[in-house]
Amino acid sequence: MSDDQPHRPDTPLLDRIAGPADLKSLSDAQLTQLAHELRAETVSAVSETGGHLGAGLGVVELTVALHAVFEAPRDKIIWDVSHQSYPHKILTGRRDRMRTLRQKDGLSGFTKRSESAHDPFGAAHSSTSISAALGFAVARDLGGAIPEGTGDSIAVIGDGAMSAGMAFEAMNNAGHLGKRMIVILNDNEMSIAPPVGALSAYLSRLYAEKPFQDLKAAAKGAVSLLPGPFREGAKRAKDMLKGMAMGGTLFEALGFTYLGPIDGHDMDQLLPILRAIRARATGPVLLHVLTTKGKGYAPAERADDGGHATARFDVLTGKQKKAPSNAPSYTSVFGETLARLAAADDRICAVTAAMPDGTGLKLMAERFPSRCFDVGIAEQHGVTFSAALAAGGMRPFCAMYSTFLQRGYDQVVHDVALQGLPVRFAIDRAGLVGADGATHAGSFDIGYLSSLPGMVVMAAADEAELVHMVATAAAHDDGPIAFRYPRGEGVGVELPETPEPLEIGKGRIVAQGGRVAILSFGTRLAEVRKAAESLAVRGINPTIADARFAKPLDEAMILKLAEDHEALITIEEGSVGGFGSQVAQLLADRGVFDHGLKFRSMVLPDQFIDQAGPAEMYDAAGLNAAQIEARVLDVLDVAAITGRRA
């Protein structure tokens, strides 16, 4: 930890904190000490579980100050995205469960309403907090009744999240309504990747225009304005707040009183200003706070991403304890293949929404910076931008996580599919994703893309197939095309030397058998193979097919499988309404069910699955080898013969 931390008392202050109310009895000096202890506790907990580290370390002082000044849960503190919420969880009665973070039956890595009354609004996607804070403010003024009541609503939003249009839509509405609410802009010049765009430059100008010393003096002077009694309180507080506002800012034009910027690690600034805002604010207020991501933990501060996310690590060195893998990640396979193809085709370009590393585009950005675009946290814009790139003669790859592409769905429909534009959607984090849980699961893209006319939808069964699908997308100029792949490492197959385009709408037979055919779409193919090995012991040898395409379907292959087998089972890493539904529609249209085919579709269940290890999540979903084997036995009614029901 940092050398400048004060000496710890014999009894740590953190041990005396059961909830936010306990902060009210601490002096400002003790609150500063508590912040140091809270930072150490956060590092210690995350070192054992892994998770989002840097963002939480950057808001330790702000978290302490908010809970010291405001009265949660009556006052609603809403953490945008909420990967910075670990210190908040520690102070709100969950310290004893922090070592269960992001694990099965443990604490969520994000805020979650069902977890605590101190989490008034769940989040894991960005830029929702201002809308939520305004909703709470309006509900309060309309007399909405909830057990703990509703006081102030405070949105804590990062500068990266402010690049999303939704944040400005909310601010525009809030300024119009004029409700008392507070937005804290946590400006650390770092969301997950370095911030991009004109807004980032604008914020830099704001904090370059006024010396910190003046603001610090104003903040300390505000102490005399606060209760007991107010003396000239009303007038002087108003003058102080007015004096700190920068005239003519964008935020003021939207109807907010703008304050700052202030040092978000200096409690002598944070506490008096928050107290003054709480005592005197009448309408919407934006407080601009400057912080450092990863603050106080040297390995995080040195990291390019501020220690954003980490596996378990050694506290002293910061070195991660993640076991090495012999297989490359799907993400890296995509990124390397795309960069290779881009070297041979100067029409290939790439678009990502604030996730160049997460989507594998870092290599593309390094080699071809003029053809790689990070649009910020702005999926809607990213999709339409890609559409126009395609209309302009380029071959754009729009690389987004499945869970984030949902945010740009209207643009996928209206700007891409309706116009038949050849945008290539590279969809990472398909299926269940492990520790990030339900908020980041790629459960719905098969269904929401396969329903669109003219859309081609592929899923890679392994990393070699992914190489070919990237090439297929690059060569496809006849309308939009999408390919999906999961988080994590591949299965260890040999990668092809030359990426080769696949025939659109053509699947493959992996193993020829009889009685039952298993038609897999995506990486459950490995589990299908395991199930087949167990079934072979019983004398059952299923035919195994890799669909490759959910749209267009390989109709000839599917109808042949239905004709030659008494049962057909589809399996996919997606929700109902996806690949299996497309196959069922085909079979129904062709009258196949009229002739007695037994058909089953294995999909993700109709529920959100909480965080756990990937294997545990797929076990809960019923999509692992044992459940596939059981489904085969059930559909063939083998249990009566073997003497047991699987």
Between β-strands 309-310 and 51-52, what pairing exists: parallel, antiparallel or unpaired? Answer: antiparallel
Share of the chain above pLDDT 90, in %: 78
**Which one of the listed residues 39, 295, 407, 515 is annotated catalytic?**
407
**Which one of the listed residues 39, 140, 280, 293 is annotated catalytic?**
293
Q: Supply the pLDDT for residue 645.
A: 37
Active site residue 494: no
Binding-site residue ranges for Mg(2+): 159, 188
Q: Supply the pLDDT for residue 457.
A: 98
Active site residue 379: yes
Q: Supply the pLDDT for residue 106.
A: 94
The model's confidence at residue 359, banded by pLDDT at 50, 70 and 90, is: very high
Please state which architecture CATH assigns to domain 330-484: 3-Layer(aba) Sandwich (3.40)
> Which of 163-177, 211-225, 357-371 shows the lowest per-residue confidence on average (mean pLDDT)?
211-225
What's the rounded mean pLDDT across residues 247-270?
A: 87
Q: Supply the pLDDT for residue 159.
A: 85
Q: Is the pLDDT of residue 225 over 70?
A: no
**263 bridge partner residues:** 290
Pinpoint the residues of the chain covered by CATH 3.40.50.970: 14-209+248-302, 330-484
Q: Supply the pLDDT for residue 163.
A: 84
Summary mean pLDDT of the chain: 89
**Which one of the listed residues 379, 463, 527, 573 is annotated catalytic?**
379
| Structural contact between residues 88 and 132, judged by C-beta atoms closer than 8 angstroms | no
> Which of 216-225, 245-254, 261-270, 354-363 shows the lowest per-residue confidence on average (mean pLDDT)?
216-225
What's the rounded mean pLDDT across residues 199-209?
A: 63
Q: Supply the pLDDT for residue 304.
A: 77
Q: What is the pLDDT of residues 516-535, one digit of tens each?
A: 999 999 999 999 999 999 99
Between β-strands 508-511 and 543-546, what pairing exists: parallel, antiparallel or unpaired? Answer: antiparallel
Q: Characterise 358 by phi-psi region: left (phi > 0), alpha (psi -120 to 50), beta (else).
A: alpha
Fill in the DSSP letter of residue 251.
Answer: H
Q: Is the pLDDT of residue 392 over 50?
A: yes
Q: Is the pLDDT of residue 472 over 90?
A: yes
Compute the chain's Rg from CA coordinates. 27
CA atoms in the 13 A half-sphere facing the CB of 546: 18
Binding-site residue ranges for thiamine diphosphate: 83, 124-126, 160-161, 188, 297, 379
**Domain spanning 14-209+248-302: CATH superfamily:** Thiamin diphosphate (ThDP)-binding fold, Pyr/PP domains (3.40.50.970)
**352 bridge partner residues:** 374, 399
What's the rounded mean pLDDT across residues 108-113?
A: 94
| Structural contact between residues 189 and 216, judged by C-beta atoms closer than 8 angstroms | no
Fill in the DSSP letter of residue 577.
Answer: T
Active site residue 169: no
What's the rounded mean pLDDT across residues 359-372?
A: 96
Q: What is the pLDDT of residues 410-459, one digit of tens each?
A: 999 999 999 999 999 999 999 999 999 999 999 999 999 999 999 999 99
Which of 540, 507, 538, 539 lies closest to 525, judged by CA? 507
Please state which architecture CATH assigns to domain 508-636: 3-Layer(aba) Sandwich (3.40)
Place of tokens 């040195």: 302
Q: Supply the pLDDT for residue 208.
A: 57
Q: Which residues 6+ apart lie within 8 Å of 548 measured at CB?
A: 458, 459, 461, 465, 502, 506, 507, 508, 521, 554
The model's confidence at residue 646, banded by pLDDT at 50, 70 and 90, is: very low
Q: Supply the pLDDT for residue 301.
A: 87
